[in-house]
Structure 1
């Protein structure tokens, strides 16, 4: 097997690539800036720095929307630039394994496959793997055993709630709801209650700095700058963690209700396993403080979190291609029907 193997997780907000040769995870913002309609201006973190700041002549966009590829050409350009930047001449003839969401159509799934299969890298092999399976492997769970595990991946645009056993998906639901919706709730709440207009980046900063899934005894604050809707002028305001809790609590309760619905549909023997092993939460938006405690309160099941939740899927992909026992969890679309 080639030593050049890349596990790739195309997230709405972040592009994660695990390089087997170096053992490192490349993590760049999944953002691209285009000028003159088709000319690349910037990509990754540099393009994200321009988001909400660029003039009309520069279009800053996210190629992945709701977990699927919305801008195929720019996504392919973005991947090529990121790989050239970080690994240079080690991409041709390599193997690629890509995490794909559940509950997507065959056409959407084929777009993930063709992104690499028809790329300039001329890959030796391209395989796909369902993201909940990759998450479970990345969390060091024995996915091939007859044991039920519940994985909740809370991303930027989507939340995937899955029950897996024997290397397959028993139940899975893909919600078009994630961290961006929570950011929008913060924007709406501040506009409605404080007549303050803020951008997506500031909302994300408040979520990451002050966001908490349960009321806190000690209130924390952060200073932000927004636009006063009454005067129309910029204004600096101090926002408390209590305000952010009120803004996001309904969104978090919606995720809790969806988890309860999946648990109600889970076969009794698998439900018994989940009670013993607990619920595993991953994805960048799972880092909201005390989210595990909220889920435990609602479900009466312990919740397990990990150190790098946004990277669990991409680390799992690397293990899948490296371990012969679980390599069968990946699959290819390289058939006559898809050429």
Structure 2
């Protein structure tokens, strides 16, 4: 039976993904908010991101999530409420909410996700939590309830979650503070050190995204920024090797943590992981060379997700649509 009015919510530090059962689609927008004069909502989602690093001082633009947990609940409620209103074409109807929550955070931080939905004035009939890694597994088309020994690595914007799933639950999980933002910072620092050029986060991110294409065409990356010496705007061509090498340290932190999880895995599950390999997902997992370096560093094959950004939301969609998977969602306080 399909709960017609149900939403699956995956709150990422960088993007918010909402599955709407009524229209059977996933919206993906930047998880950002712009507040004017400290009180008025000016913009949210992608339109707030457009203004990022460009807004005047009276407009404050921020991410309400930090390191995978809710840092600013008031603004997060504003964003969520507005997106739900957009989904419902301006009306709020009673609905069920399935919210994806990281495993390796405290119970208080987990409860904040449920409280967020409860207090956002969006008429939540029922709020169910789903472990993010389990939803990820479903989004990767794995039958998580019956499968044993699945290693999922979700590389997000602020964090990377490394989890081992078995029979619908989580055996081991680790959340580390390395993700797409750290990659961007490394690129910015390398450009600053090598060329005395200060570039913005968006520029660094664009270089990171375009890297695969640039390497294939054997082109350099063209960036615009401010010269440290003269203080004037300028354009520079950046070699792709510099960009790739700047991110290596971050990649190695992720690989080391995957190895730590593998060392702690019960031997029977290790055998299953060896057969299946690693499942790589999350928005920042698409960075060039990351998948092959993980394969090299662990000796395991790496299965790259076809829907790295919306994977968790698609997993929540499966739980909403298929009664067989309802048992992986649980009410607050019930625990798993």
Give your verdict on TM over 0.5.
Answer: yes
Per-residue CA deviations over 1:76-120 (Å, capped at 9, x if unaligned) read 001111222233256421111001111111211111101112331
The answer on whether the counterparts of 2:77 and 2:119 sit within 8 Å (CA) in structure 1 is no
Q: How many residues align?
A: 333
TM-score for the superposition, normalised by structure 2: 0.95
* 1:171 and 2:175 correspond: no
Ranges in structure 2 where 5+ consecutive residues have no aligned partner: none
User: Contact 2:84/2:122 (CA < 8 Å) preserved in 1?
Assistant: no
Counterpart residue number, 1:82: 83
Quote the Cα distance in structure 1 between the aligned partners of 2:127 and 2:280: 28
Q: Is the 8 A contact 1:210 1:221 kept in 2?
A: no
Structure 2: how far apart are the matches of 1:262 and 1:100?
20
Distance in structure 2 (CA, Å) of the matches to 1:178 and 1:73: 25
Instruction: Give me the whole-angstrom Cα distance separating, in 1, the residues matched to 2:219 and 2:161.
Output: 31
**Match in the other structure for 1:331:** 330
For 2:305, the equivalent position in structure 1 comes to 306
Whether the 8 Å contact between 1:4 and 1:90 is mirrored in structure 2 is no
> 2:225 maps to which residue?
226
- Please give the alpha-carbon distance, in whole angstroms, between the structure 2 residues aligned to 1:271 and 1:91: 47
Q: Does 1:43 align with 2:55?
A: no
SS of 2:309 mapped into structure 1: helix
Q: Secondary structure at the match of 1:326?
A: helix
- Say whether residues 1:22 and 2:23 are aligned partners: yes
Alpha carbons 1:219, 1:242 under 8 Å: kept = no
Write the distance in 2 (CA, Å) between the matches of 1:268 and 1:146. Answer: 16
Partner SS for 2:80 = helix
Trace 1:1-339 onto structure 2 (pairs within 5 A).
Answer: 2-89=3-90, 91-145=92-146, 147-210=148-211, 219-333=218-332
Distance 2:33 2:26 in 1: 20
Q: 1:211, 1:245 within 8 Å by CA — same for their partners in 2?
A: no
Distance, in Å, in 2 between the alignment partners of 1:91 and 1:257 is 46
Q: How far has the Cα of 1:217 moved from its partner?
A: 7.9
Consecutive unaligned residues of structure 1, counting only runs of 5 or more, are none
CA distance in 1, matches of 2:154, 2:291: 13
- Where 1:173 maps in the other structure, the secondary structure is strand
TM-superposed deviation, 1:263:
0.9
**Partner SS for 2:295:** helix
> Structure 1 stretch 85-94 or stretch 317-326: which is displaced more?
85-94
CA RMSD, Structure 1 to Structure 2 (Å)? 1.7
Q: Which SS does the other structure have where 1:141 is aligned? A: coil
Residues 284-338 of structure 1: CA deviation (Å, up to 9, x unaligned): 0001123221111111111001222011101101111221121110111178xxx
Partner Cα separation in structure 2 for residue 90 and residue 137 of structure 1:
30
Q: Note the alpha carbon deviations across 1:136-171, whole angstroms, 9 max, x for none.
A: 011111211251000000000000000110111111
Whole-angstrom distance in 2 between the partners of 1:166 and 1:48: 39
How far apart, CA to CA, are the structure 2 residues paired with 1:114 and 1:41?
A: 24
In structure 1, what is the Cα distance between the partners aligned to 2:212 and 2:231? 27
Paired with 1:217 and 1:119, the residues of 2 have a C-alpha distance of 47
Quick check: 1:281–1:305 contact (8 Å CA) kept in 2?
yes
Give the match's secondary structure for 2:3: coil
Query: How many Å separate the matches in 1 of 2:91 and 2:60?
Result: 31
Provide the rounded CA distance (Å) in 1 between the counterparts of 2:196 and 2:258: 34
**Secondary structure at 1:124's aligned position in 2?**
strand
For 1:220 and 1:150, the matched residues in 2 are separated by 36
